[in-house]
Amino acid sequence: MAQLQRLVITASQIDRQQIVLTAEQQHYLSRVLRLRSGDQFIAMNGQGQGWLAALESDRAQILEPIHAHSELSISVTLVLALPKGNGFDDVVRQATELGVTCIAPVISDRTLLNPSANKLERWRRIAQEAAEQCERQIVPEILDPVSWNDCLQIESSDSDICRLICLARGNSPHLLNYLNKSVCPSITLAIGTEGGWTDAEIEGAIAAGYQPISLGRRILRAVTAPIVALSLVAGVLERMKNEE
Amino acid sequence: MAQLQRLVITASQIDRQQIVLTAEQQHYLSRVLRLRSGDQFIAMNGQGQGWLAALESDRAQILEPIHAHSELSISVTLVLALPKGNGFDDVVRQATELGVTCIAPVISDRTLLNPSANKLERWRRIAQEAAEQCERQIVPEILDPVSWNDCLQIESSDSDICRLICLARGNSPHLLNYLNKSVCPSITLAIGTEGGWTDAEIEGAIAAGYQPISLGRRILRAVTAPIVALSLVAGVLERMKNEE
């Protein structure tokens, strides 16, 4: 069943045992994927539920629920200072592949440009497509961008989160050491822009409960650091499952 | 010293305590980086040695050797089935950031195109630039592409290497579990194209001593999988150093 095509639908599209397809979804299934009437695909609501479905012109028949397990066992939020250029597209795509739950873009002191509403719309579409491709049940949420200070205030209200800020230089403990020694009910990872965080931003984060950590001895680009951090988080969570 | 600009030179450019700069290097230092006579930069030979140097018109004075430690403690080779499009550029750049020693592009059954000589030249330039940026002492070697079968024959002559082939589906042990349980004098990681390895390719690898491993429960794209694998390898090697 793994090789079946996937499509994200909204809850309001479900009418008893049928899915009412939008014109765009009909086009995608019939013209792009070339499915015919009766062909099966997987419909996901993007929030953890999925169904095996069979195409029937402008609708699809729900055949059975699907129980898949490709999600991480805890919630992982990526707080990311917006990098320059189109780097964020790749980060959203790859972070989705690595199981991220939520991406919070922040405007830091070294962010060059505020993103347009079009960009946000684009990142949400990329997250949805990547979730379909990598066979996840959840589509990561992309929050509206806020300033770093606002982000620290929103975040600090929940004391159950392990909050980590990745620093390129200095002698912070390695993320893998931290993960091996800690039990985290959920994780927030904050990663800076090309120029790194400013001293004031790092001080603000530590005051708000963030622990500084290292991703290794080389200087990673802003688009690489989040993928490295999420690889280690997903690796530690899934290594444990793999051993059971 | 970490923020100084870096430049890769060849051994033949060193004349006693001076570096004879090429016209291209002079242009890069003076026009692109806007260094003036007397300004310092780091010259690296790309094979582990580096020097603090001061610009002097068409030459640079070597001031002192530099002892940096941003390399992994063992040799890590990435054997990568060539993906479609320009995906390989990003993989070369990010794998260099993660400390890879050697990248061996292979032509697999699902490779669409053989790369041109221009492409190889381009990948070698990307590796050099990325090594400068991320402050490595070694520029990874990019081998000429060979077929998967030829690669297996070359590789199998050395019995000291831990050889791992990453599979997207099935129940292979997680790479992190393997790394935590194994002592590897060096590692070779083989990663397939978008379509994955064919059954015959996997059988050939196992016969040649490759161990099948998993990178987690989601289906990673061909450009993401090598970065995830190298993040885990570098993480395990550097976590140990970080604890010392």
Structure tokens at B221: 């794209």
By CA distance, what is A219's nearest residue in B?
Answer: B134
**pLDDT tens, position by position, A38-70:** 999 999 888 888 899 999 988 999 999 988 788
What number of other Cβ atoms are within 10 A of residue A116's Cβ? Answer: 9
pLDDT(B44) > 70: yes
pLDDT tens digits for range A122-145:
999 999 999 999 989 899 999 999
Name the average pLDDT for chain B: 90
Between A195 and A20, the more confident residue is: A20
Split at pLDDT 50, 70, 90, the class of A194 is confident
φ and ψ of B197, to 5 deg:
-75, 150
- Given this model, what pLDDT does residue B52 score? 93
Condensed to tens digits (0 to 9), the pLDDT of residues B203-233 reads: 999 999 999 999 999 999 999 999 999 999 9
Count helices and strands (H / E) in chain A. 7, 13
Distances (CA, A) of A157 to A21, A191, A202, B92, B218: 40, 20, 18, 41, 32
pLDDT of residue B1: 41
Chain A's closest residue to B238, CA to CA, is A216
How far apart CA A238 and CA A233 sit, in angstroms, is 9
Q: B173 at the A interface (CB within 8 A)?
A: yes
Q: Mean of the per-residue pLDDT values for chain A?
A: 90
Cβ of B69 within 8 Å of Cβ of A217? The answer is: yes
Residue B42 predicted with pLDDT over 60: yes
pLDDT-based confidence at A1, cuts 50/70/90?
A: very low
Q: What percent of chain A has pLDDT over 90?
A: 69
Whether A97 contacts A134, CB under 8 Å: yes
Indicate yes or no: CB of A2 within 8 angstroms of CB of B169.
yes
pLDDT at A93: 97
Which two tokens mark B216?
Answer: 């987690």
* Other residues' Cβ atoms within 10 Å of the Cβ of residue B152: 21
Q: Give tens-digit pLDDT for A76-118.
A: 999 999 877 778 999 999 999 999 999 999 998 887 777 888 9
Strands, E assignment, B74-136: 75-81, 102-107
Neighbours of A160 (CB within 10 A): 7
Token duo for residue A207: 């005051």
Residue by residue, DSSP assigns A110-146 as T---PPPHHHHHHHHHHHHHHHHHTT-SBPPEEPPPE
pLDDT in tens, B115-173: 888 999 999 999 999 999 998 989 999 999 999 999 998 766 667 899 999 998 888 99
The domains of chain A, with CATH numbers, are 6-66 (2.40.240.20), 75-243 (3.40.1280.10)
pLDDT number for residue A243: 60
Token look-up 């070779």 returns: B188
The answer to whether the CB of B71 falls within 8 A of the CB of B50 is no
Q: What angle do CA B94, A105, A91 make, to 5 degrees?
A: 25
- Give the contacts of A110 (CB within 8 A, at least 6 positions apart): A81, A192, A193, A194, A195, A196, A197, A198
Instruction: Give the per-residue pLDDT at B155.
Output: 64
Contact (Cβ atoms closer than 8 angstroms) between residue A164 and residue A232: no
pLDDT value, residue B74? 93
pLDDT at A2: 44
In this predicted structure, the answer to whether residue A242 has a pLDDT above a threshold of 80 is no
Q: How far is A164 from chain B (nearest CA, A)?
A: 16
Query: Measured between CB atoms, does B52 come within 8 Å of chain A?
Result: no
- Say which residue, B241 or B71, is predicted with more confidence: B71
pLDDT digits (tens, 9 = 90+) for B20-41: 999 999 999 999 889 999 999 9
Per-residue model confidence (pLDDT) at position B2 = 44
Q: Do B238 and A216 touch (CB under 8 A)?
A: yes
In this predicted structure, what is the pLDDT of residue B213?
96
Q: How many residues does chain B have?
A: 244
Determine which of B239, B241, B244 to mutate to test the interface with A (most A C-beta atoms within 10 Å). B239
Structure token pair of residue A178: 């931290």
The count of CB pairs under 8 A between chains A and B is 123
On chain A, the residues whose CB falls within 8 A of the CB of B90 are 90
Token digits for A121?
Answer: 């719309």
